[in-house]
A and B are shown apart, each in its own frame.
Chain A
Amino acid sequence: MTSALAKDIKELVRSCSAKEAALLPALYLAQGKTGCLDDKALELVSDTLLIPRARVRGVASFYDMFRSGPMGRHIIRLCTNVVCMIMGAEKLADMLDRKYGVKPFETSPDSRFSLVIMECIGACGTAPAMLVNDDLHENLSEDRIVEILDNYK
C-alpha cells in the first residue's frame, strides 16, 4: 500500500508544472489512502518528495481539512460562523451531540461520524449549512439533519 502511494505521489509530481506545488496534493493523496495524516503518512510524503519531515508536518498541521488522527466513517463539517450562527447553527451542534453522540472535533462512539466545526463554507445564503464528506447540505433544521444523516451509514 505504501509503495503504491509513493508511486502515485511521484506520478503527481510529474503532472505538476512546478514540483513545489506537489506537496498539498500529495498530502491529500496520502490522507485519501491512509485515512488520516498520521506520523507514518507524513514520513512517506516526506521521503517520497524529499522534503524535510519538519516542513511536511508544519504544512500539514496548518490546514483545517487535514486530519492527524483517525476519523469516523463520515465527516460532518458544520459551519458556526456569524451568519450560520444567527440562523441557528449552535442548536444544531447541540443536537448532533444529543442524537449522534458526536462532539465538536471528536468522533462518535460508534465511529460513524466525526464533527468538525468550520469557519464559513460559503453557503451563507442558505444557512445553516454543512458538508458531509463532499456533499453540501443547506437550509438545515434538526429534522432535515436527521433525514440527511440517515443516508450516511
Chain B
Amino acid sequence: MSSGEIFIVVFITAIILVSAALVIAMLISPRSTNEQKGEPYECGIPTRGTSWMQFKIGYYLFAILFLMFDVETVLLFPWAVIMKSLGVMGLCSVLFFLFILVLGLAYAWKKGALEWK
C-alpha cells in the first residue's frame, strides 16, 4: 500500500468512526427538555433584555492600536531571525523603525487614547 492509499483509508475510517458515534448517540440517547435548560446560566439572577447592545468606542481604538503594533511585530520577525549576522547596521535601522512607531504610541498616549473612560 502506498502512503496515499493509507492516508485515504485512515481518513475514511476516522470520518466513519466519528459520525457513527454521533449518529448512534443521536438515535438511542434519552432526551428531556424543559424551559430551565434553555437559560444561559444555571443559577443566579435571571437575565433581562437582549445581550445585543452598543459598545463603547474605546474598544475600537484599542483594537486598531493592537492591529498597528501587530503589523509592526510582523515586520520585526525577519530581522530578529538574522539579527546576529546583520550586526550594528541592522540594529540601527530597526531602532529607527521602532523610534518612528514609538512616536505614534506617544501621540496616542498624549491624546489620552490609552485611558479608559
Do A and B truly interact? no
| Interface set of A (CB-CB < 8 Å, partner B) | none
Which residues does B use to contact A, with CB under 8 Å? none
